[in-house]
Amino acid sequence: MPDSTPAILVLGLGNDILTDDAVGLHVVRTVREHLAREPDIEVKATTEMGLALLDEIAGRESVVLVDAVQTGQAAPGHVHELGPDDLAKVLTTSPHFLGVGETITLGMMLGLPMPQHVRIFAIEVKDPFTLGTQMTPAVEQAVGAAAARVVVRARELASAVGRAGAVAG
Amino acid sequence: MDDAAKQAFNQGNLRANAAYAAAKRNLTIDPVTRLEGHGKIDIYLDNQGDVERAYFQVPELRGFEVFSLGRPAEDMPQITSRICGVCPTAHHMAATKALDALYQIEPTPAGRKIRELVYHTFMLEDHALHVFILGGPDFIVGPEAPPAERNIVGVIGKVGIDAGKRVIATRRRLRELIAYFGGKVVHPVLGQPGGVSKALKKEDLPKFQELAQDAVGFAEWTLQVFRQIVLGNPEYVKLITSDAYTHKTCYMGMVDEQNRVSFYDGMLRVVDCEGREVCKFAPKDYRQYIAEHVEPWSYMKFTFLKQRGWQEFVEGPQTGIYAVGPLARLNAADGMATPRAQAAYAQFFQTLGGRPVHHTLANHWARVIEMLQAAERIVELTNDPEITSPEVRRIPTATPAEGMGVVEAPRGTLFHHYQTDSRGLITMANMVVATGNNAARIAMSVEKAAKGLIKGGHVSAGLLNKIEMAFRAYDPCLGCATHTLPGHTPLMVSIFDHHHLLLRELSQE
């Protein structure tokens, strides 16, 4: 990994033609505007899945993931903030994110440098399964506030770069 | 179904839903939210509390046709590849072939070879993903192992870290080849009617030839691992051949002119449960041979062989139910199209008692044999002098109207069907995914598992696991979002009494 790789990665996951499943992509688009001048933070969006996550997070000190989730136990637009081990408890039947902890363990087994801190912002959605490019209203309206929270967390992690006992992840 | 029947069915459903909603308040139900995008299994009990019928419902992707209406047909290869993060290249290729048919044009020879090169690379990569991450955890780690170990981490624990690195690295290189031609694996810009968008430059060929050789080595090694760990273990062999996961249905797969397994193009061939050819047809004639049955009291559609008629969920020599996928392809063909794969094919049938093989779990082994053919084909194509030709596209001139494109996706036969106006804008778009073809047989597998584990209204422990094993062997497509991490099969099981009222819901991720 080149030394110039920013230590913090903010990664939005989603599918832009599956209605609310695009929310992660929309949130990071807003986040990118606010963090454009931060040298330690890189903001990306991806529609890739599975093992591609491993490639993205390898070599980073901290990672912030943003994605859609459907727990059915919160109102659409609600933002869950989690560590990688919280997911199994909160997300009973969503197929998203269940492998983040597993991915990190895999990366470590393969001798890849895995992030010290991982935060996940999982936005509760109403409909991630109908084809469409327009999100449902409650989810659309949540983008701004979710982006603001991601920006705060990313800046916290950036300010702790290289320091021991950084922000808990 | 016709309008009158549809109305009756819908009214019946409305009444049933109202009755359920009224009764639900009085029943104890596990508090699970019903969510879309999951494998949904409905089990109906008779008045003795035994299983009368069980169904597996493929969650349908909603709004596909509406979303496609009015769009240029030439966008469909990109649109459909974005729907499915697991099989993007399969949809891309089926859509591209539908465009060929729509514009009444064949790809140039080099264009076709590049398509085949990309497609076989995708098949190899996707099958490898399944073997090591989806199916592997059951067989390489073991179905009795604790769930926490039944994942890729457990697989690597079993095969070793170097082996794990080899799997990850090989997959990455294969995806790079696909990206070379298509830009991005999930949103490829490869397929055009009449060919492809990018040629293979001569100076780039050597690295792909090297990858091709490594690919064959990788596939052979995977077969070896499978033989050692799976076939070398009598418990696993017992499980594979157990009656619980065995069904005597027909099998459908794509074949070349010599009736050998073909992934990219060919005729569709169906054999019955004794291996005799039932029919063989051009994909565009699909509707003359395959029909759909809608089951009352559910929203499920089941495909079956038209000439046999719908006979309920029965197996045997007269059944109209057929399966697709790796096992079905090997059963429906007389052999593989490449030498190492053919040797593995012969050994497969010799070990399992001849063709056709009815053990659903043998899909995992068939998948590894297909990996070999895919890899060998990549070698053939990268050694073909025409692969670096710049003539990769011819421009269509015909006015578009209708076209169908069919490929063998990793999970089975995939159909794309479009109609357009004279400007090439979509007026109708329909697709049948592999799992749609398997729905009836999956329902039978689920029912068999359920019948063994639900008696007198009492549900045995392990019901979910047993059903999940059968279900996972078909590797069903669940229409999930593109960034779903593989390895998890969200399953929702609902158990209804003989009044069709919900008794219990069980779920797992």
pLDDT tens per residue across span B375-387: 999 999 999 999 9
Distance, CA of B170 to chain centre: 22
Report the range of poorest mean pLDDT among B10-14, B242-246, B261-265: B10-14
Which residues of chain B are within 8 Å of residue A130 when distances are taken between CB atoms? 61-63
What pLDDT is attached to residue B381? 98
Average pLDDT over residues A51-79: 87
Residue B112 confidence (pLDDT) above 80? yes
Closest CA to B95 of B113, B78, B118, B119: B78
Helix/strand/coil for B480? coil
B509 shares contact with chain A (CB less than 8 Å) = yes
Task: Record the tokens describing residue B413, joined without a space.
Answer: 């036969």
User: With an 8 Å Cβ cutoff, is B21 touching chain A?
Assistant: no
Mutation site, A97, A129, A136, interface B, largest B CB count within 10 A: A129
**Cβ–Cβ of A102/B484 closer than 8 Å?**
no
Tell me whether residues A70 and B35 touch, CB distance under 8 A: yes
Q: What is the pLDDT of residue A169?
A: 46
Put simply, the answer to whether B479 touches A46 (Cβ < 8 Å) is: no
Share the mean pLDDT of chain B.
Answer: 85
In B, which residues are within 8 Å of A49 by CB distance?
Answer: 85-86, 186, 482-486
The phi-psi region of residue B248 (left if phi > 0; otherwise alpha if psi is between -120 and 50; otherwise beta) is beta
pLDDT score for B341: 98
| CA neighbor of B482 nearest in space, from B34, B88, B77, B127 | B88
Which structural domains are found in chain A, ordered by start?
8-159 (3.40.50.1450)
What 3-state DSSP class applies to B431? Answer: strand
Residue B445: closest CA among B277, B299, B327, B353: B327
Closest-CA residue of chain B to A25: B483
Three-state SS for B93?
helix
Question: B1-10, B95-104, B169-178: which has the highest mean pLDDT?
Answer: B95-104
**Is B360:B327 a contact under the CB 8 Å cutoff?**
yes
Nearest CA among B469, B500, B498, B401 for reference residue B39:
B469
For B79, the enclosing helix (H) or strand (E) is helix B76-83
Share of residues in chain A with pLDDT > 90 (%): 47
pLDDT tens column, B36-73: 445 678 888 898 989 888 877 665 667 788 889 999 99
**pLDDT average, residue stretch A153-164:** 83
Q: What tens digit of pLDDT does each residue of B177-211 get?
A: 998 998 876 667 899 999 999 999 999 999 999 99
Q: What is the mean pLDDT of residues B9-36?
A: 46
Q: Which of B82-96, B149-163, B276-290, B420-434 has the lowest mean pLDDT?
A: B149-163
pTM assigned to the model: 0.85
A17 touches chain B (CB under 8 A): yes
**Which of B85, B186, B490 minimises the CB distance to A93?**
B490
B133 contact residues in A (CB cutoff 8 A): 50-51
Residue of chain A whose alpha carbon sits nearest to that of B492: A93
Q: What are the contacts of B383-388 at 24+ separation with CB within 8 A?
A: B383/B209, B383/B212, B384/B113, B386/B109, B386/B110, B386/B113, B387/B110, B387/B113, B387/B114, B387/B117, B387/B200, B387/B205, B388/B110, B388/B199, B388/B200, B388/B201, B388/B202, B388/B205
Tell me which residues of chain B, numbers 150 to 169, contact chain A at a CB-CB cutoff of 8 Å: 151-153, 156, 161, 164-165, 168
Q: Does B488 touch chain A (CB under 8 A)?
A: yes
Q: Interface pTM (ipTM) of the complex? A: 0.79
Q: Residue B210 CB: number of other CB atoms within 10 A?
A: 12
Q: At what angle do helices B363-382 and B109-129 cross, to 10 degrees?
A: 150
Establish if B83 touches chain A: CB-CB under 8 angstroms. yes
Model pLDDT, residue B202:
96
The token pair that represents B340 in the structure block: 């190492």
| B506 shares contact with chain A (CB less than 8 Å) | no
Q: Do the chains contact at A17 and B79, CB–CB below 8 Å?
A: yes
Q: B190: Cβ–Cβ under 8 A, 6 or more apart, which residues?
A: B77, B92, B96, B114, B115, B118, B181, B182, B183, B196, B197, B198
Are residues A18 and B481, on separate chains, in Cβ contact within 8 Å?
A: yes
Structure tokens at A83: 């560590």
The region, left, alpha or beta by phi > 0 then psi within -120 to 50, assigned to residue B482 is alpha
B485 touches chain A (CB under 8 A): yes
Tens digit of each residue's pLDDT (9 = 90 or more) over B304-347? 999 999 888 889 999 999 999 999 999 999 999 999 999 999 99
Lowest mean pLDDT among A140-154, B224-238, B289-303, B372-386: B289-303
Exposed, middle or buried, B71 (CB in 10 Å: 0-12/13-18/19+)? middle
d(C-alpha B154, C-alpha B233), whole Å: 17
Q: Which domains does chain B have, with CATH numbers?
A: 3-59+436-508 (no CATH), 106-246+359-395 (1.10.645.10)
Identify which of B32, B79, B186 has the shortest CB distance to residue A48. B186
- Going by pLDDT thresholds of 50, 70 and 90, the confidence category of residue B435 is confident
Residues 369-388 of B with CB under 8 A from A: none
Q: Does A159 touch chain B (CB under 8 A)?
A: no
Among A96, A99, A131, the residue with its CB nearest the CB of B67 is: A131
Question: Residue B477's pLDDT is what?
Answer: 66
* Mean pLDDT on B26-41: 40
Distance, in Å, from the CA atom of A14 to the CA atom of A49, rounded to the nearest integer, reads 9
Tell if the CB–CB gap between A129 and B151 is shorter than 8 Å.
Answer: no
Helix/strand/coil (H/E/C) assignment for every residue in B104-140: CCCCCHHHHHHHHHHHHHHHHHHHHHHHHHHHHHHHH
pLDDT at B34: 30
CB B194 within 8 Å of CB B396: yes
